[in-house]
């Protein structure tokens, strides 16, 4: 009987808490804080700023963003361990929307790309830690398309890769050919003599 009562308590409490949130019985603003974060709530949802802390140093902010009804709204910012900005991006209704910038811990811009309602759209540019542009590639509907160009420190294109729907066609063909070889060329792996006929080798 005691075990049954305990089971009922364990089962009922989480259900009650969930119902309390769903029914919003306590809409008053409050602040929730633990070792990892500090969040503002109102109307039973995150509303206002949320800060995430460095797990080793609680007084050091790892990232921050504003919420409206449980969805990110406004500028999200994350930080390196030395407190320099690591990444910035705007959010609209919980989706990335705007220019995302990523930085090295020395403050140098490392990457820039535009998001439109959660999808990458437009040119993604990368720089090395010294500030030299290292590559660029175009995104359409969140996929890499066309040529990705790699640059030397003088801005000269030193290598290119072609992409179609985020895949390199050359690599896709190479992998397909390799899989085909493994599956059918039995002689290559010593399973049949190399002098065997094509019909015997190709399985």
For the chain, domains (ranges, CATH) are 26-167 (3.90.930.1), 168-203 (no CATH)
pLDDT for res 195: 78
Please report the pLDDT score of residue 175 as a whole number.
55
Residue 55 confidence (pLDDT): 81
E strand or H helix that includes residue 128: none
Phi, psi angles (nearest 5°) of residue 17: -65, -40
Element (H, E) at 91: strand 85-92
In the chain, % helix, strand, coil (3-state, to 5) comes to 25, 45, 30
In the chain, DSSP finds a helix count (H) and a strand count (E) of: 3, 15
- 168: tokens are 């390199």
Give the range among 18-32, 36-50, 96-110 with minimum mean pLDDT.
18-32
């Amino acid at each position: 009987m005691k075990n049954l009562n305990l089971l009922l308590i364990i089962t009922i409490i989480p259900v009650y808490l969930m119902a309390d949130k769903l029914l919003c019985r306590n809409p008053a603003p409050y602040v929730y804080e633990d070792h990892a974060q500090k969040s503002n709530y109102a109307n039973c949802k995150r509303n206002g700023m949320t800060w995430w802390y460095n797990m080793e140093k609680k007084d050091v902010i790892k990232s921050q963003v504003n919420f409206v009804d449980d969805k990110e709204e406004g500028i999200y910012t994350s930080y390196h361990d030395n407190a320099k900005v690591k990444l910035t991006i705007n959010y609209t209704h919980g989706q990335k929307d705007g220019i995302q910038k990523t930085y090295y811990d020395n403050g140098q811009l490392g990457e820039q790309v535009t998001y439109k309602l959660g999808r990458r759209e437009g040119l993604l540019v990368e720089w090395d830690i010294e500030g030299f542009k290292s590559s660029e590639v175009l995104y359409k509907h969140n996929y890499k398309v066309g040529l990705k160009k790699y640059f030397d420190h003088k801005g000269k294109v030193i290598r290119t890769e072609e992409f179609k729907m985020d895949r390199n066609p050359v690599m896709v063909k190479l992998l397909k050919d390799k899989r085909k070889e493994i599956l059918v060329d039995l002689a290559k792996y010593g399973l049949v003599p190399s002098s065997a006929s094509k019909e015997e080798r190709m399985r």
